[in-house]
Amino acid sequence: MAVNTHPHSISKKCHSKAIALDPVPLSQKTIKRIEEAKRDLKEGNVCTLEELKAELGIE
């Protein structure tokens, strides 16, 4: 069995040096949009890519 050596493989340990944190905090507008998206997911207000394409008449 081959070992996955890809640098982004989840089988490798994460080194704290490799993690970047954005020093700029999220805006209130962005936080609100994230909360709305979480609510939509929880309530099932989602559609598949195929449904969205059909609705927009794409492909």
> What is the pLDDT at residue 1?
45
At a CB cut-off of 8 Å and minimum separation 6, what does 40 contact? Answer: 46
- Digitized pLDDT (tens) for each residue of the chain, 59 residues in all: 455 555 555 555 655 567 778 889 999 999 999 999 999 999 999 999 999 999 999 97
Number of domains the chain contains: 1
Give buried/exposed letters for 4-30 (b at 16+ CB in 10 A, else e): eeeeeeeeeeeeeeeeeeeeeeeeeee
At a CB cut-off of 8 Å and minimum separation 6, what does 59 contact? Answer: 53
Domain of residue 45, residue span? 26-56
Its pTM stands at 0.51
Assigned domain for 6 exists = no
